[in-house]
């Protein structure tokens, strides 16, 4: 099976309500607040070391029976300048925190040693059912 390294759109940053242990690498996050500043519309977003997906994409992932992940609640909010940068109101979907539990290169979702997202060909096919216009995808 083929695997791919994904670099999702970075539309914002971890918010001040994020709880993170930086004494380990990659850092371990126990509570996630993602603050969107400049979103281009992709359904998977990153702010190292975390990934969030829209509820739509989370549903597709769940239905596909993929391995190596779990979903958790995340607080995803618009930053102060987000609507100004977008030239108008943003209809923000609901989001889920995509937590990587698998092993890169053997499960459908896993993290590389630097925390980057590695997915199987099967998982990539599911992700492509959503919007991935600003996600860099490279064979691994």
pLDDT of 104-114, one tens digit each?
999 999 999 88
Give the tokens for residue 97.
Answer: 């925190």
Count of domains forming the chain: 1
pTM of the model: 0.93
Q: What is the domain extent for residue 70? A: 3-139
Tell me: pLDDT of 87 over 80. Answer: no
pLDDT at residue 83, as a whole number: 74
At 32-48, the pLDDT tens digits run 999 999 999 999 999 98
Tell me the two tokens of residue 98: 């995509």
Give the angle 131-137-138 at the CA atoms, nearest 5°.
165
pLDDT of residue 115: 87
- Report d(CA 126, CA 4) in Å as an integer: 13
The confidence band for 85, taking pLDDT boundaries of 50, 70 and 90, is confident
């Amino acid at each position: 099976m083929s695997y791919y390294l994904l670099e999702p759109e970075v539309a914002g940053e971890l918010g001040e309500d994020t709880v993170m242990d930086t004494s380990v690498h990659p850092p371990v996050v126990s509570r996630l607040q993602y603050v969107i500043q400049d979103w281009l519309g992709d359904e998977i977003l990153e702010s190292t070391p975390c990934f969030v997906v829209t509820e739509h994409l989370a549903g597709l992932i769940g239905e596909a029976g993929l391995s190596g992940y779990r979903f958790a609640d995340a607080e995803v909010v618009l930053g102060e300048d987000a609507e100004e940068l977008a030239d108008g109101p943003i209809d923000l979907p609901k989001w889920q925190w995509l937590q990587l539990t698998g092993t890169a290169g053997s499960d459908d979702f896993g993290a590389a040693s630097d925390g980057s997202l590695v997915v199987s060909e099967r998982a990539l096919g599911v992700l492509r059912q959503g919007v991935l216009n600003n996600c860099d995808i490279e064979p691994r």
